[in-house]
Structure 1
């Protein structure tokens, strides 16, 4: 062998070893876990909340785990005899038939006490395999540099896949068995039964609105729209603060926290600064007018109220992002980060028209809004949180005799209306009646105007124009303009009616 060949030999050996590196797995742990389950079905419940068939490395083991799980969930006994009837009899595992292999697994079963440790080891190895796949994809795409996947898009895609992996233990989406879907639906009903007010969703803190909507439902896109001056930001701020203030965390078996009531709120304030938003909330909570706070026209008693309120508010899990003109991709990335670091139960975006899409759709505003609303809907599903997105209405409302908004008034309405699960309009007749005040108080119409003003003063309508899983209709609320606060009306007989 010449010198060159001698130098190349170890290199070729190293490359061969690298090329044939096996994905991380532990077949002995899988066998031990399956054996424990086949001997004592209680072992299944020790791992079933985090371990799924897809996490096992060996295809036959996946199938055994899946069949055993189905049998146990039906209230029957899973053992080598009952499981083998669902597997192909002529399949071989080395020299053993499937029936012999199942019997061997049961015979060599370890104690049920170790089942959870084996389950965790299998789960961790599955995560490592998924990380390897994501890493390989990142490297390959970065080398190929395809036109349809610029680096920024690749970062967003990798971040999304890593987030899904961290949240659910898998990133490939794919089909979910109907059994799992039914179990989730029953869990949701159970949570609604235990939650304050028996709501299936998160309470807005406004009872008349909750009774119509059942609270804010997970993964819903809720559009809150209105003309300027109607108070849509005030309503969104009220709801966001109510949810954050009633946050009651519950420790989960894995040590994480889940909201029993209320929740952690992320608020994207694209129009107002965080200080302005905080001033509004303080005004609403202390009943000190926000204009007086800004001008410093407050008494010592008022100031003490503000200080006490601010100390209480510091404990509230409400997080504000005041980046103007944020893109849907940036918003999604920050929301994922917030969920990982602090938790997230509700997201508020104020407002859609101040967001930007990608440069592709920059030529056409309607396409850009479509990209934004589709992105928000997808983000709500990915994070499993309701998203309240505020939207402007077109000026067409002002030119009509009846100023009550309709779905067709939504700016660039097609996509907003289509992607939304719920569309709410805020309408304050008081705003329009006030502008019709006759200049001369001796005018015969003045009394008529005064009566009309008394009728609508301090009230607001929240019109539910669209709701995928509930009725449409109108909810009447009280509105205190000096504190920008929405609340339930004192007389419940006026609160709501259906279309």
Structure 2
């Protein structure tokens, strides 16, 4: 084992690490306090991380940790030698500690670990800059910001405090009163712009993850833009769109087409009429002043999405985030054995991001080929592509279906079904809306 004075390459406090582990082997109170502050990887000494996990395993199994039981457990798992051996663990335990200094020592260990993460981030940023070129400076700057943000804000062992029921009751009554004030509108969250959908769901709720899913060319991105138009243009709520497939100018063209009722193909083909320009001019002031922020990097990672979302939420008070789409997003900081696992982790983290910022997050997802193998072609929630965890993590799953996409002579031409296949806080159902593809929008049936 290395002695305290040997390992000086990185910030560390091995004396505090030993003191905390000693306290945990003698006091279950110490375990309860320390586990709320530290995680295993906060320890600088790898052997100490193994001992820490052994103590927690014994504690979780309702066993009282001691130097003997820790050695016995590490022997069973084949880790005793890597943890320093029985002599090191017995010497580490020493005599029973006095006082309750373990919380302060644990805080010091965590702060030291955070300092190591900052130094590691600085090294990675230096490498990015050293190997970068002027053409990619913006991307390098974004990556550097994400590195610093992750290193400086991550507190892996922090556990929020428990709140007394009386305190929670006061907050709950305030929330009930706020709901009552909004009850007349039936929209308690961010309005989607669709009357029946808002009546069913109450809008996009704070802290919720909504998944919009469909087969290709059904209009799922168009529906997401409709949600953004409702939030930003009709209700002046700041929103953020991450679009990994469409360019930002394409997104704005869709918004202009939908708002001004100018055929999208006129804009794209250069065949705008005088009437088209007049319609567009009337709507441009409202469109251009809408508080919508668009990030259109085709190589965005979830790490970058999270960093930029936090920053803009702080700067612009963002109230809605849309990610289009999940299947083009990578996690960005670590490899995964399968794409299934990566999408599962991304969806879980999007839900956590929604809860952290207390705003709704909408994610666009593709479906597998399941609907095309059924007679009626209608999608089901188990058709979600890449990960069943999408369904588990989502509070609301909306499956988009258009019969006329499969049958050109369908009597339901121009109609679309918004199938609310999962609704964690309420009923499911199917909402029928009109699809106006030439204007790149969906609208309520009553509006056609």
- TM-score, normalised relative to structure 2: 0.66
Match of 2:259 among 277, 285, 308: 285
The answer to whether residue 177 in structure 2 is matched with residue 221 in structure 1 is no
Shift of 1:307: 2.7
* Shift in Å, 1:481: 1.4
Residues 92-241 of structure 1: pairs in structure 2 closer than 5 A: 138-139=114-115, 141-142=117-118, 155-160=148-153, 173-195=160-182, 197-241=185-229
SS at match of 1:244: helix
Q: Measure how far apart 1:431 and its partner are.
A: 1.0
Contact 2:212 2:400 (8 Å CA) reproduced: yes
Deviation at residue 135 of structure 1 after TM alignment = 6.6
Distance 1:157 1:286, change over 3 A: same
For residues 394-448 of structure 1, what are the alpha-carbon distances to aligned partners after superposition, in whole Å with 9 as ceiling and x for unaligned?
Answer: 01221221210011111123111111111110001111111xxxxxxxxxxxxxx
SS class of match (1:218): coil
* Distance in 2 separating the partners of 1:292 and 1:310: 17
Contact kept? 1:397, 1:403, Cα under 8 Å: yes
In 1, Cα distance between equivalents of 2:109 and 2:311: 22
Check if 1:468 corresponds to 2:442. Answer: no
1:346/1:386 contact within 8 Å kept: yes
Seen in structure 2, the aligned counterparts of structure 1 residues 379 and 133 have a Cα distance that, compared at 3 Å, is farther
Aligned 8 A contact 2:303 2:333 in 1? no
Q: Distance in 2 between matches of 1:141 and 1:356?
A: 22
- SS of the aligned residue for 2:318 comes to coil
- Matched with 2:135 is none
* Structure 1 gaps, min length 5: 1-130, 146-150, 163-170, 249-262, 435-448, 493-499
| 1:403 aligned residue (350, 373, 377) | 377
Q: CA RMSD in A?
A: 2.8
Distance 1:190 1:246 in 2: 25
Q: Give the whole-Å Cα distance in 1 for the aligned partners of 2:299 and 2:119.
A: 32
Determine if contact 1:201/1:215 at 8 Å carries over to the other structure.
Answer: yes
How far off is 1:238 after superposition?
A: 0.5
* Aligned residue-pair number: 318
Cα contact 2:341–2:387 (8 A) shared by 1: no
Q: Distance in 1 between matches of 2:435 and 2:354?
A: 29
How far off is 1:159 after superposition?
A: 4.7
Does the C-alpha gap of structure 1 residues 133 and 300 become closer, same or farther in structure 2, counting only changes over 3 Å?
Answer: farther
Structure 1 residue 240 displacement after superposition: 0.7
Distance change >3 Å, CA 144–CA 412, structure 1 → 2: closer
Q: Report if aligned partners of 2:241, 2:321 keep a CA contact under 8 Å in 1.
A: yes
What is aligned with 2:93?
Answer: none
Q: For residues 141 and 238 of structure 1, what CA distance do their matches in structure 2 show?
A: 41
Residues 211 and 394, structure 2, Cα contact 8 Å, conserved in 1: yes
SS in 2 for 1:413: coil
Give yes or no for contact 1:247–1:264 (8 Å, CA) kept in 2. no
Aligned-pair CA distance for 1:337: 0.5
Flag structure 2 segments of 5+ consecutive residues without an equivalent: 1-106, 122-142
Note if 1:346 corresponds to 2:324.
Answer: no
> SS of 2:285's equivalent?
helix
Matched, 1:333 2:307: yes
Alignment equivalent of 1:477, drawn from 429, 433, 440: 433
Q: Could you give the per-residue CA deviations for residues 252-302 of structure 1, whole angstroms, max 9, x where no partner exists? A: xxxxxxxxxxx2111111110110000001000111111111112121221
Match of 1:357 in 2: 331
Tell me which of 412, 416, 441 is aligned to 1:456: 412
Question: Which residue in the other structure is 1:30 paired with?
Answer: none
Partner Cα distance (1:391, 1:430) in 2: 21
Q: Which deviates further from its counterpart, 280-289 or 185-194?
A: 185-194
TM-score, normalised to structure 1, is 0.59
Contact 1:427 1:461 in 2 (8 A): yes
Instruction: Give the match's secondary structure for 1:349.
Output: strand
